[in-house]
Amino acid sequence: MSHIFIKTIIVLTGGILQGIGMGLFLFPHFIPSGGAGGIAVLLNYWFHIHTGLALWLVNSSMLLVAVKYLGKRVAVWTVIGITMTSASIAFFEQTVIIGNRNLLVDFFCGSLLLGTGIGLLMRQSVSNGGVGVIALIVAHKRSISPGQPLFWINCSVFIFTAIVIDWKIILLALGSQWIATRIVNLICQLNFYPSYTLSWRKK
């Protein structure tokens, strides 16, 4: 039970940190946090749907498609993570107002928090949702690394988002992904709580 309790706390914390990074720092500048984030930004831009709700809808629909490849247990934890992320985005978008925003400060703060949140989730073998699950399906069917389809799917979404909203978005999105990925790798390589064996590779 203690393992489940600790895992629950870490998954919720990871979801909250993702939500803060997205809702408080990245999304106000329409910077997508990934493929699903880009779609959420577009839904908000076109239909004025709250990005938290839009992200949850996108992630949930993709997750349902990929449950058979992720496994039910991982899917349940992923739903918990993305629900907490979406709830956090909605909360911070509606309750926290930052005056005199600085794009670079928001960019770096959002990217660091995003990477930290994803890293905590991945250490628990929990997907953060998004187009990553679609990339896994493509990789499975074609017997290739998921990195390749994930890269092209994310880039396609970034480019389309940039065309619709602003071309500088693609540079910011790629930069944010680079920083977040470095943080994810760092967190996944560190040995937190070794007595609980929270290796991100362990199923």
DSSP per position, 105-138: HHHHHHHHHHHHHHHHHHHTT----TTHHHHHHH
Residue 3 is given by DSSP the state H
Whole-number average pLDDT of the chain: 80
pTM: 0.76
* Gap between the Cα atoms of 69 and 38, Å rounded: 24
Residue 195 is given by DSSP the state G
The band of 106, judged by pLDDT with boundaries at 50, 70 and 90, is very high
Residues 6+ apart with CB under 8 A from 144: 138
Element (H, E) at 155: helix 147-164
Helix and strand numbers, DSSP H then E, in the chain: 8, 0
Structure token digits, residue 10:
């870490």
CA dihedral 86, 166, 25, 147 (to 10 degrees): 60
Structure token digits, residue 42:
């577009």
- pLDDT tens-digit readout, 57-79: 888 777 776 676 667 777 788 78
What's the rounded mean pLDDT across residues 153-162? 82
pLDDT of residue 17: 95
